[in-house]
Amino acid sequence: MLPKALGVTGVLWAGPVADGLAFLLALALIIYDIEKLKKHIRKEKAEMENVESENQNEKSELEENVAEDMSFDESNDILKENIQDDDKLNESLM
């Protein structure tokens, strides 16, 4: 277009004009991709926080279950001690 309109001067200006347009197009595409990446990163971060929250809930439930199991084991130990004491008392009475 420039060579036809401006002759030899158009030929000289065609290269820099094409470079400028290529730069603007590349800049627009880079900005678009950066925005897309930011959106993807925000989505991944939200998913990670959700997973961490679920893991924390599971950890709390597991800790509660372990505490209940320990309490149950302690109760069993006390019950066994009481049974042994009763057996010894019964033996001494006989």
What pLDDT, in 10s, does the model give residues 7-53?
A: 888 788 888 999 999 999 999 999 999 999 999 999 999 888 888 88
**Predicted pLDDT at 38:** 95
Question: Could you tell me which residues come within 8 angstroms of residue 6 by beta carbon, excluding any fewer than 6 positions away?
Answer: 13
Question: Could you tell me which residues come within 8 angstroms of residue 2 by beta carbon, excluding any fewer than 6 positions away?
Answer: 10, 11, 13, 14, 17
**Model pTM?**
0.49
Average pLDDT, the chain: 80
